[in-house]
Amino acid sequence: MKTERFNKIWILLIPFFLLAALFLVIPMVLMITSSFTSETTGAFTFGNYHEIFTNPFYYQAFLNSGMISIFSSIVGLALAIIVSCALTNLPEKIQDKLTVYINVAANFAGVPLAFAFIILIGNSGALRLFFEGMNFPLLEGFNLYSWQGLALTYLYFQIPLGILFIYPSLKKIKKEWKEAAFILGASNWVYWRKIGLPNIMPSIAGTFVIMYANGMGTYETAYALTGSNVNLITIRIAALVSGDIYARPIIGSTLAVVFALIMIVILILSQTMLRRVRRDLA
Protein backbone atom coordinates (compact mmCIF):
# COMPACT_ATOMS: atom_id res chain seq x y z
CA MET A 1 0.00 0.00 0.00
CA LYS A 2 2.80 2.35 0.94
CA THR A 3 4.75 1.43 -2.18
CA GLU A 4 1.72 2.16 -4.41
CA ARG A 5 1.22 5.58 -2.77
CA PHE A 6 4.93 6.30 -3.08
CA ASN A 7 4.81 5.52 -6.81
CA LYS A 8 1.78 7.80 -7.33
CA ILE A 9 3.63 10.68 -5.67
CA TRP A 10 6.59 10.23 -8.00
CA ILE A 11 4.28 10.07 -11.04
CA LEU A 12 2.64 13.35 -10.00
CA LEU A 13 6.09 14.92 -9.67
CA ILE A 14 7.12 14.00 -13.22
CA PRO A 15 5.84 17.32 -14.78
CA PHE A 16 7.84 19.25 -12.19
CA PHE A 17 11.03 17.34 -12.96
CA LEU A 18 10.46 17.76 -16.71
CA LEU A 19 10.03 21.53 -16.36
CA ALA A 20 13.06 21.75 -14.08
CA ALA A 21 15.12 19.79 -16.61
CA LEU A 22 13.93 21.85 -19.59
CA PHE A 23 14.30 25.32 -18.09
CA LEU A 24 16.99 24.85 -15.43
CA VAL A 25 19.18 21.77 -15.76
CA ILE A 26 19.66 21.63 -19.55
CA PRO A 27 20.35 25.40 -19.95
CA MET A 28 22.78 25.22 -17.02
CA VAL A 29 24.63 22.25 -18.53
CA LEU A 30 24.80 23.98 -21.92
CA MET A 31 26.05 27.17 -20.26
CA ILE A 32 28.80 25.32 -18.37
CA THR A 33 29.94 23.32 -21.40
CA SER A 34 29.87 26.46 -23.54
CA SER A 35 32.12 28.25 -21.05
CA PHE A 36 34.84 25.63 -21.70
CA THR A 37 34.53 25.83 -25.49
CA SER A 38 36.87 27.80 -27.71
CA GLU A 39 35.21 30.54 -29.76
CA THR A 40 37.41 29.87 -32.78
CA THR A 41 38.03 26.10 -32.86
CA GLY A 42 35.19 24.72 -30.69
CA ALA A 43 37.72 22.68 -28.70
CA PHE A 44 37.93 22.38 -24.92
CA THR A 45 39.72 25.35 -23.31
CA PHE A 46 40.19 27.36 -20.12
CA GLY A 47 40.91 30.44 -22.22
CA ASN A 48 37.48 31.96 -21.67
CA TYR A 49 38.01 32.03 -17.89
CA HIS A 50 41.52 33.40 -18.39
CA GLU A 51 40.07 36.21 -20.49
CA ILE A 52 37.39 37.30 -18.02
CA PHE A 53 39.76 37.10 -15.03
CA THR A 54 42.44 39.15 -16.77
CA ASN A 55 40.18 41.71 -18.44
CA PRO A 56 39.63 44.71 -16.09
CA PHE A 57 36.39 45.53 -17.91
CA TYR A 58 34.77 42.28 -16.77
CA TYR A 59 35.84 42.28 -13.14
CA GLN A 60 34.85 45.95 -12.95
CA ALA A 61 31.35 44.76 -13.90
CA PHE A 62 31.40 42.31 -10.98
CA LEU A 63 32.72 45.04 -8.67
CA ASN A 64 30.08 47.57 -9.74
CA SER A 65 27.25 45.05 -9.32
CA GLY A 66 28.60 44.02 -5.93
CA MET A 67 28.96 47.61 -4.72
CA ILE A 68 25.46 48.75 -5.66
CA SER A 69 24.00 45.50 -4.31
CA ILE A 70 25.77 45.95 -0.95
CA PHE A 71 24.76 49.62 -0.76
CA SER A 72 21.11 48.96 -1.60
CA SER A 73 21.00 45.92 0.71
CA ILE A 74 22.50 47.67 3.77
CA VAL A 75 20.57 50.93 3.41
CA GLY A 76 17.40 49.14 2.29
CA LEU A 77 17.60 46.67 5.18
CA ALA A 78 18.09 49.45 7.75
CA LEU A 79 15.08 51.35 6.42
CA ALA A 80 13.05 48.12 6.16
CA ILE A 81 13.69 47.39 9.86
CA ILE A 82 12.64 50.92 10.86
CA VAL A 83 9.47 50.80 8.74
CA SER A 84 8.63 47.29 9.97
CA CYS A 85 8.98 48.39 13.61
CA ALA A 86 6.66 51.33 12.94
CA LEU A 87 4.24 49.07 11.09
CA THR A 88 3.87 46.68 14.03
CA ASN A 89 2.69 49.57 16.22
CA LEU A 90 -0.22 50.45 13.90
CA PRO A 91 -3.76 49.01 14.19
CA GLU A 92 -4.18 45.57 12.62
CA LYS A 93 -6.48 46.79 9.81
CA ILE A 94 -4.01 49.45 8.71
CA GLN A 95 -1.19 46.90 8.89
CA ASP A 96 -3.10 44.56 6.55
CA LYS A 97 -3.76 47.34 4.02
CA LEU A 98 -0.17 48.57 4.09
CA THR A 99 1.26 45.07 3.67
CA VAL A 100 -0.83 44.68 0.50
CA TYR A 101 0.70 47.89 -0.90
CA ILE A 102 4.19 46.81 0.19
CA ASN A 103 3.71 43.48 -1.58
CA VAL A 104 2.77 45.30 -4.78
CA ALA A 105 5.70 47.72 -4.43
CA ALA A 106 8.15 44.85 -3.94
CA ASN A 107 7.05 43.34 -7.25
CA PHE A 108 6.98 46.65 -9.12
CA ALA A 109 10.38 46.52 -10.79
CA GLY A 110 11.93 46.31 -14.20
CA VAL A 111 11.03 48.58 -17.11
CA PRO A 112 7.72 49.83 -15.58
CA LEU A 113 9.60 51.04 -12.49
CA ALA A 114 12.22 52.80 -14.62
CA PHE A 115 9.46 54.42 -16.69
CA ALA A 116 7.69 55.62 -13.53
CA PHE A 117 10.88 57.26 -12.27
CA ILE A 118 11.53 58.85 -15.66
CA ILE A 119 8.04 60.39 -15.60
CA LEU A 120 8.58 61.71 -12.07
CA ILE A 121 12.21 62.82 -11.86
CA GLY A 122 13.67 62.37 -15.34
CA ASN A 123 15.11 65.30 -17.28
CA SER A 124 11.55 66.48 -18.05
CA GLY A 125 9.88 64.72 -15.14
CA ALA A 126 6.77 66.08 -13.46
CA LEU A 127 8.39 66.70 -10.09
CA ARG A 128 11.47 68.29 -11.64
CA LEU A 129 9.34 70.70 -13.71
CA PHE A 130 7.17 71.44 -10.68
CA PHE A 131 10.13 72.38 -8.47
CA GLU A 132 11.72 74.41 -11.29
CA GLY A 133 8.42 76.28 -11.69
CA MET A 134 8.48 77.03 -7.96
CA ASN A 135 12.12 78.25 -8.24
CA PHE A 136 13.03 75.55 -5.73
CA PRO A 137 16.06 73.65 -7.10
CA LEU A 138 15.49 70.46 -5.09
CA LEU A 139 16.46 68.11 -7.94
CA GLU A 140 19.15 70.34 -9.44
CA GLY A 141 22.26 68.28 -10.01
CA PHE A 142 20.42 64.97 -9.66
CA ASN A 143 20.86 62.69 -12.67
CA LEU A 144 18.41 59.80 -12.88
CA TYR A 145 20.42 58.18 -15.66
CA SER A 146 23.52 57.66 -13.55
CA TRP A 147 24.62 55.91 -10.35
CA GLN A 148 22.40 58.33 -8.40
CA GLY A 149 19.32 57.14 -10.25
CA LEU A 150 20.33 53.50 -9.97
CA ALA A 151 20.83 53.80 -6.20
CA LEU A 152 17.41 55.43 -5.80
CA THR A 153 15.55 52.88 -7.95
CA TYR A 154 17.34 49.94 -6.32
CA LEU A 155 16.27 51.24 -2.91
CA TYR A 156 12.70 51.56 -4.14
CA PHE A 157 12.28 47.82 -4.71
CA GLN A 158 14.76 46.64 -2.04
CA ILE A 159 13.00 48.34 0.90
CA PRO A 160 9.56 46.68 0.33
CA LEU A 161 11.29 43.35 -0.25
CA GLY A 162 13.10 43.72 3.08
CA ILE A 163 9.87 44.64 4.87
CA LEU A 164 8.14 41.51 3.55
CA PHE A 165 10.75 39.35 5.29
CA ILE A 166 11.47 41.42 8.43
CA TYR A 167 7.89 42.33 9.32
CA PRO A 168 6.69 38.74 10.10
CA SER A 169 9.66 38.15 12.41
CA LEU A 170 8.96 41.41 14.28
CA LYS A 171 5.32 40.37 14.65
CA LYS A 172 6.47 37.26 16.52
CA ILE A 173 8.10 39.36 19.26
CA LYS A 174 5.63 39.33 22.14
CA LYS A 175 4.73 42.51 23.99
CA GLU A 176 5.04 40.56 27.25
CA TRP A 177 8.77 40.20 26.66
CA LYS A 178 9.19 43.97 26.52
CA GLU A 179 6.95 44.54 29.54
CA ALA A 180 8.86 41.96 31.56
CA ALA A 181 12.19 43.53 30.57
CA PHE A 182 11.01 47.01 31.61
CA ILE A 183 9.66 45.71 34.92
CA LEU A 184 13.09 44.23 35.62
CA GLY A 185 14.66 47.65 34.96
CA ALA A 186 15.94 47.23 31.40
CA SER A 187 16.06 50.27 29.15
CA ASN A 188 14.74 50.26 25.59
CA TRP A 189 18.28 49.93 24.25
CA VAL A 190 19.07 46.98 26.58
CA TYR A 191 15.82 45.26 25.63
CA TRP A 192 16.61 45.41 21.92
CA ARG A 193 20.26 44.45 22.40
CA LYS A 194 19.57 41.50 24.70
CA ILE A 195 16.14 40.26 23.58
CA GLY A 196 14.67 41.84 20.45
CA LEU A 197 17.66 41.90 18.13
CA PRO A 198 18.92 38.35 18.87
CA ASN A 199 15.45 37.00 18.08
CA ILE A 200 15.25 38.64 14.68
CA MET A 201 18.94 38.31 13.80
CA PRO A 202 18.51 35.12 11.70
CA SER A 203 15.74 36.86 9.76
CA ILE A 204 17.92 39.96 9.26
CA ALA A 205 20.84 37.89 7.99
CA GLY A 206 18.64 35.88 5.63
CA THR A 207 16.91 39.01 4.36
CA PHE A 208 20.25 40.69 3.66
CA VAL A 209 21.36 37.75 1.51
CA ILE A 210 18.08 37.75 -0.43
CA MET A 211 18.30 41.50 -1.01
CA TYR A 212 21.93 41.20 -2.09
CA ALA A 213 21.06 38.44 -4.57
CA ASN A 214 18.13 40.50 -5.81
CA GLY A 215 20.42 43.49 -6.38
CA MET A 216 23.06 41.43 -8.16
CA GLY A 217 20.49 39.89 -10.50
CA THR A 218 18.71 43.14 -11.42
CA TYR A 219 18.85 43.87 -15.13
CA GLU A 220 15.75 45.49 -16.62
CA THR A 221 15.61 48.56 -14.36
CA ALA A 222 19.32 49.30 -14.73
CA TYR A 223 19.30 48.79 -18.49
CA ALA A 224 16.15 50.89 -18.99
CA LEU A 225 17.75 53.81 -17.12
CA THR A 226 21.38 53.70 -18.16
CA GLY A 227 21.60 51.37 -21.16
CA SER A 228 25.21 50.21 -21.39
CA ASN A 229 26.62 53.37 -19.79
CA VAL A 230 26.93 51.67 -16.40
CA ASN A 231 29.05 48.54 -16.39
CA LEU A 232 27.03 45.95 -14.42
CA ILE A 233 27.50 42.21 -14.76
CA THR A 234 23.90 41.52 -15.86
CA ILE A 235 24.10 44.21 -18.53
CA ARG A 236 27.47 42.86 -19.66
CA ILE A 237 26.14 39.29 -19.98
CA ALA A 238 23.12 40.47 -21.96
CA ALA A 239 25.32 42.60 -24.23
CA LEU A 240 27.59 39.63 -24.93
CA VAL A 241 24.66 37.32 -25.69
CA SER A 242 22.58 39.72 -27.79
CA GLY A 243 25.49 41.79 -29.04
CA ASP A 244 25.64 45.61 -28.99
CA ILE A 245 28.34 45.40 -31.67
CA TYR A 246 28.87 41.66 -32.12
CA ALA A 247 27.70 38.74 -29.99
CA ARG A 248 30.06 36.60 -27.91
CA PRO A 249 27.68 34.12 -26.24
CA ILE A 250 30.51 31.86 -25.06
CA ILE A 251 32.10 34.67 -23.04
CA GLY A 252 28.59 35.57 -21.83
CA SER A 253 28.15 31.96 -20.66
CA THR A 254 31.51 32.09 -18.87
CA LEU A 255 30.52 35.29 -17.04
CA ALA A 256 27.17 33.70 -16.14
CA VAL A 257 28.92 30.63 -14.69
CA VAL A 258 31.19 32.79 -12.53
CA PHE A 259 28.22 34.90 -11.49
CA ALA A 260 26.28 31.74 -10.49
CA LEU A 261 29.27 30.43 -8.51
CA ILE A 262 29.51 33.72 -6.60
CA MET A 263 25.82 33.53 -5.71
CA ILE A 264 26.16 29.87 -4.62
CA VAL A 265 29.10 30.75 -2.35
CA ILE A 266 27.11 33.63 -0.83
CA LEU A 267 24.13 31.34 -0.19
CA ILE A 268 26.34 28.68 1.43
CA LEU A 269 28.01 31.29 3.65
CA SER A 270 24.64 32.75 4.63
CA GLN A 271 23.22 29.34 5.52
CA THR A 272 26.31 28.57 7.59
CA MET A 273 26.00 31.90 9.36
CA LEU A 274 22.28 31.38 9.98
CA ARG A 275 22.87 27.93 11.48
CA ARG A 276 25.52 29.40 13.78
CA VAL A 277 23.23 32.22 14.89
CA ARG A 278 20.36 29.80 15.56
CA ARG A 279 22.70 27.52 17.51
CA ASP A 280 23.92 30.43 19.64
CA LEU A 281 20.33 31.49 20.34
CA ALA A 282 19.21 27.95 21.26
- Concatenate the DSSP letters of all residues of 37-61 into one string: B-TTT--B-SHHHHHHHH-HHHHHH
> How many CA atoms are closer than 13 Å to the CA of 18, on its beta-carbon side?
6
Mean pLDDT of 141-149: 88
- pLDDT for res 244: 59
pTM here is 0.83
CA distance 169 to 62: 32
- Residues sharing a CB contact under 8 Å with residue 106, sequence separation 6 or more, in sequence order: 157, 160, 161, 163, 164
**Residue 256 pLDDT grade (very low, low, confident, very high; cuts 50, 70, 90):** very high
CA distance 187 to 176: 15
Mean pLDDT of 138-150: 86
- Residues sharing a CB contact under 8 Å with residue 209, sequence separation 6 or more, in sequence order: 266, 267, 270
The radius of gyration of the chain from alpha carbons, rounded to an integer in Å, stands at 24
**Residue 160 pLDDT grade (very low, low, confident, very high; cuts 50, 70, 90):** very high
The pLDDT tens digits of the residues spanning 212-231 come to 988 998 898 899 888 878 88
Nearest to 238 by CA among 248, 230, 229, 150: 248
- pLDDT for res 280: 60
pLDDT at 1 over 70: no
Q: How far is it between the farthest Cα atoms of the chain?
A: 80
Nearest to 200 by CA among 165, 235, 225, 232: 165
The pLDDT tens digits of the residues spanning 72-119 come to 999 999 999 999 989 988 888 898 889 888 888 888 878 889 999 999
